[in-house]
C-alpha cells in the first residue's frame, strides 16, 4: 500500500442478488466547457457504478444498474439527459456480464510478438498504367 498500487479493499457483490439485475452502459457527449461541472454532478449520483472518460464518438461511459428497465430509462432520460452539460446520450443494455477482473497487473499480460511493419490493414495499390492521367 505504501507505493500506492493497492488503493483499498472491498467486497464483491452479486448485483442481481442485491436486487440490481439490470445493467446498462450509458455513453455521453459533454459540452467541452462544462467538464468540471459535469464531473462534480455525476460523482454525487449514487446510481452510477463507474464513469470512464473515453475517446471517439462519445466523451464518457457510465455503468449504471437498476431493478428494472424502467428504472434505467427514468434515470437516463430524467436525470442524465436533463443535465445542461450533456449534448447527447446513448444507452446500451448489457445482456450478460461474462466476467470482470478485480485487478490487472503488468505481470498478468502475456508476451506478444510485435505486429511488424504492417500498419493496420492499409496497403498501397498502384494505378493501372494504361489508365488516363488525372492531371489533364
Domain coordinates of the chain in residue numbers?
A: 22-94
Q: What is the DSSP string of the chain?
A: -TTSS---------TTTTT--EEEEEEEEE-GGGHHHHHHHHHT-TTEEEEEE--SS-SEEEEEEESSHHHHHHHIIIIITTSTTEEEEEEEEES------S---GGGSPP----TT--TT----PPPTTSPPTT-
Q: In the prediction, which pLDDT does 135 show?
A: 54
**pTM metric for this prediction:** 0.77
Residue with more model confidence, 33 or 113 = 33
Rounded to an integer, the average pLDDT of 9-30 is 93
User: Is the pLDDT reported for residue 130 higher than 80?
Assistant: no
CATH architecture of 22-94: 2-Layer Sandwich (3.30)
Q: In the prediction, which pLDDT does 121 show?
A: 62
User: Is the pLDDT reported for residue 102 higher than 70?
Assistant: yes
Amino acid at each position: 500500500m505504501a507505493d500506492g498500487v493497492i488503493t483499498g479493499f472491498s467486497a464483491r457483490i452479486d448485483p442481481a442478488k442485491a436486487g440490481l439485475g439490470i445493467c446498462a452502459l450509458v455513453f455521453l457527449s459533454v459540452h467541452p466547457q462544462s467538464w468540471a461541472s459535469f464531473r462534480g454532478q455525476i460523482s454525487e449520483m449514487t446510481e452510477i457504478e463507474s464513469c470512464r472518460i473515453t475517446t471517439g464518438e462519445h466523451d464518457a461511459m457510465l455503468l449504471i444498474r437498476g431493478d428494472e428497465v424502467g428504472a434505467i430509462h427514468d434515470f437516463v432520460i430524467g436525470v442524465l439527459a436533463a443535465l445542461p452539460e450533456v449534448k447527447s446520450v446513448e444507452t446500451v443494455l448489457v445482456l450478460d456480464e461474462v466476467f470482470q477482473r478485480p485487478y490487472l497487473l503488468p505481470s498478468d499480460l502475456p508476451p506478444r510478438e510485435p505486429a511488424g511493419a504492417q500498419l493496420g490493414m492499409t496497403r498501397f495499390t498502384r494505378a493501372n498504367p494504361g489508365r488516363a492521367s488525372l492531371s489533364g
